[in-house]
Each structure stands twice: as C-alpha cells, then as structure tokens.
Amino acid sequence: MKKNKIAGKTMEAWKEEYPLLDKLVSTKEVFWVNPEYESFQTASQQISLNENDVKEAEERLKRFAPYIAKVFPETKEMDGIIESPIVYIPSMRQQLEQVYEQKLPGDFLLKCDSHLPISGSIKARGGIYEVLKHAEELASQHQLLKRGDDYVILDSEKFRSLFSQYSIAVGSTGNLGLSIGIMSAKMGFNVTVHMSADAKQWKKDLLRSKGVTVVEYADDYSKAVEEGRKQAEKDPNCYFIDDENSRDLFLGYAVAASRLKQQLEDLKITIDQDHPLFVYLPCGVGGGPGGVAFGLKLIFRDHVHCFFAEPTHSPCMLIGMMTGLHDKVSVQDFEIDNITAADGLAVGRPSGFVGKVMEPLLSGSYTVSDDKMYRLLRSLADTENIYLEPSALAGMAGPVHLWKSTEGQSYLNHHQLTDKMKKAVHIVWATGGSMVPKEIMEEYYRKGL
Ligand SMILES: *Cc1c(COP(=O)(O)O)cnc(C)c1O
C-alpha cells in the first residue's frame, strides 16, 4: 500500500522530526513552547505591521463612535466604543487549584469579550472594524463623507441607499458571520454569510431575522470561506472579508490592547519586569487571538507572554507554527478530524498571514479537550456566575497547563519567571457567550457535569 505524504513527507517522518505530533494526532492534550520566540526588540524587526497601523484603526473606531452610539443604543453608555469589562475571578482560581491539585499563584482576571456589545464575541472587534473601514472608503469615494464630519450622518437614507448598491460576503463558523452580518445589515449593505456545518442554528436564525442571506455548507470552515470567496469574485460590487488573510480584521482586534492597558491602570495593576503578564487566547483561524496578542506585545513587550489555546481536535495553528508549514497543511492532513463542540475554534487550516506574524511573538500554544471545556464552563458558572460558550473556555485551562507541564516549567525557568510568579497577572480571554440562548446554555451547563 502506498503511504500518503503530507507536504512531501510521511506521517512517520513528521513524527520523528516533531515528537509532539504523536500526541496531537491521537488528540491528547499538549503544551508547546514556541522555539522561534524572540525578544520584542528582535521580533519587531521581522514584522511589517507597527504601532501606527494599530493607532489608525483606533482612530477610525473613534470617528465611528457617535454613529455606533446612535444605531446601537446598548453602546450609548460607552459613547459608541465597543469594549468589554475585565473582572477578577478569585473563586474560579481556587476551584482550578482544587480540581487540578496545583497551586496557581498570581492574580486571575477574565477579559469578557463574551459581553462585547452588538454581537457578544471577540468578532465584534475585528469584524465590525473591517465593515466600518470599507463603508468609510466607499462613502469617501462617493464624496459623501470626509474627515471631520460627524459620522452620525451615516444613519440616513442617503447612506443606506448608497450601501445598498454594494454587497459584503464572509465565510464563518458563526460568530464572525454574526458580527459582519449585523453591522453590514445595519448600514444598508446586502450581506451574505457562508456558514460552515459547525455553525449553530440560532446564529443562522438570528442573522436571517436581520435580513442577512445565510448560505449553509455541509463542510467545514475552510470550504465555507472558499465558496464565499468564489461567489464574491464574480461580483465587482461585492467585498469579501477574508478571515484567512485580512490585515484589517487583525488590526481591529489589536486595538483591544491599548484599551486593556487603560483598564489595568484603572485597577492599579502594574505590568513590568517584576510583574509579568500571561494571556491565554482561544484560537481558530488566528486573526482574533493573533491581533490581540500583537497589540499586547506592542505595549507590554517582553513583559507579556501570550499563549494560544485550541481544541484537541482542531490544533491547526499549533501544527502550522510548529512545522513552519502554516496554511500549507490542515489538521485533516494529519488525520485529525476537526470535529469539536467549540464551534468558534473548529478550523482545520490556520491563517498563514497570522502564523507568520506570530512566529517570533507567540510564547506557546496548547490544546484542550471538549470535555474539559464543558467542565470549565460549568465551574465558571458555579463559582463566578459567568456564562460563556465552550470555545471561550479554552483559555481557562492555560495556567494549569503552564504549571503542570514540563514544557511550561521550562519556559518559566528559561525566562527567569519562576520567582516572579507570585506577582504575575493571568488574563484568560473569554471570547464569546452572552448571546447564546438560555436553553442552549443550560444544555452546555449540563454537559459540564
Ligand atoms: C472566532 C472565535 C475565536 C478565535 O478567533 P479566530 O480569529 O478564529 O482565531 C475564539 N473564540 C470564539 C468564541 C470565536 O468565535
């Protein structure tokens, strides 16, 4: 029998080169330390994006804030800035210590992107940003909008009728579709969301109720994106939001960092040489966690340590980064099925763009079983009364992994962090959940028993 090759090598050869693949292929939980990780000084020279790019995105979101406050009244209190709370989770930390029989020193905080207004997930950052940027470009081309205008004027028939001549398309496992769909429909665009088989019914129903066209596929995320891209190419007035390659999405996510910096200052939390910051980010295709981590590295540099979290059945970014093959391989190539209850993370092929940017910046990555995500979901509800969707719990396993694995210990030793851990700050990035219907959340909660 002829053996199938993966990017020119047999599975055996890959496993020999990267022994961790053995565990990954058998969907066991792993913790991986990134050998390409560099000091920020060195890393920043390899990256084409910088502070100014993020600043520009931040300024654009400020220009749109009066309009957002007007058309989404739930954002009024925040003056149209789409931002989420950050909260201490001391009871959850205790629970983790008990369940995993592991001391976890330092402060634990939860960044509640689950409670971002408009679409209730991290996608309310990048997704909405890219729609706004596109709208601004179109309106400027038609000489209907210029810098200095009060963007509240976008809430009018004149603008809606302009945007109705254009369309927007996107491929999604659900949450990106929600963000792009809701925002685009509000502005007046024709919008089509290409949904993978993982997408939950309630997300499709919600979008249709807002006038969004939802196309469903029996296949996974990569297929939905591919089909979306193909359809969009046929129509010159259609703008395709490319989750696998978009610089704008990435920068929209990166704006989170300066906002977080302010929130930490308000809480009188210092991040410096003696107070390291650890951030755990659930990863699908990579844009969300990559953008946030990039923004954080620009601000906190070597004092922040970013880790990505993926389901054991969809470790696409980990495999892409470890092998250096990025988007040239999928988890399916390695006979991993990409079937997970963490719908937001059900991605088999990572973004090559994000993987390359993150190569010198990411500290490491780990995988979490679906079972564990459900159990953590239930624990967080019981201890802190916060309800998240399964994907959003992937981050919560990070600190335990870091302490319990020999790889995690060696990372701490190597960077002389072990003695500083009492003063460390751990931020678990909660990426979604506030829009999950009650009966579905109850089902999740039951599964966590
Ligand atoms: C999309 C998503 C992520 C990951 O973002 P990517 O850009 O796909 O890496 C994490 N959590 C939730 C809930 C998501 O919807």
Q: From ligand 1's centre to the CA of 254, what distance in Å?
A: 14
pLDDT for position 198: 85
Does any ligand 1 atom lie closer than 6 A to the CB of residue 395? no
For residues 422-439, average pLDDT:
98
Domain layout of the chain by residue ranges: 11-49+76-118+250-447, 123-244
Split at pLDDT 50, 70, 90, the class of 131 is: very high
CATH 3.60.21.10 fits 11-49+76-118+250-447, yes or no: no
Question: pLDDT (tens digit, 9 = 90+) per residue, 242-277?
Answer: 999 999 999 999 999 999 999 999 999 999 999 999
Nearest to 429 by CA among 308, 341, 265, 315: 308
Question: pLDDT (tens digit, 9 = 90+) per residue, 63-76?
Answer: 999 999 999 999 99
pLDDT for position 93: 98
Q: Is 233 exposed, middle or buried (0-12, 13-18, 19+ CB in 10 A)?
A: exposed
Fold that domain 123-244 belongs to in CATH: Rossmann fold (3.40.50)
Q: Is the pLDDT of residue 1 over 70?
A: no
Task: Decide whether 11-49+76-118+250-447 matches 123-244 in CATH topology.
Answer: yes
Q: From ligand 1's centre to the CA of 2, what distance in Å?
A: 37
pLDDT for position 2: 56
Nearest CA to ligand 1 atom 14: 344
Does any ligand 1 atom lie closer than 6 A to the CB of residue 435? no
Mutate to test the pocket of ligand 1, among 111, 246, 283 (most ligand atoms within 8 A of CB): 283
pLDDT over 70, % of the chain: 99
Does any ligand 1 atom lie closer than 6 A to the CB of residue 241? no
For residues 218-246, average pLDDT:
93
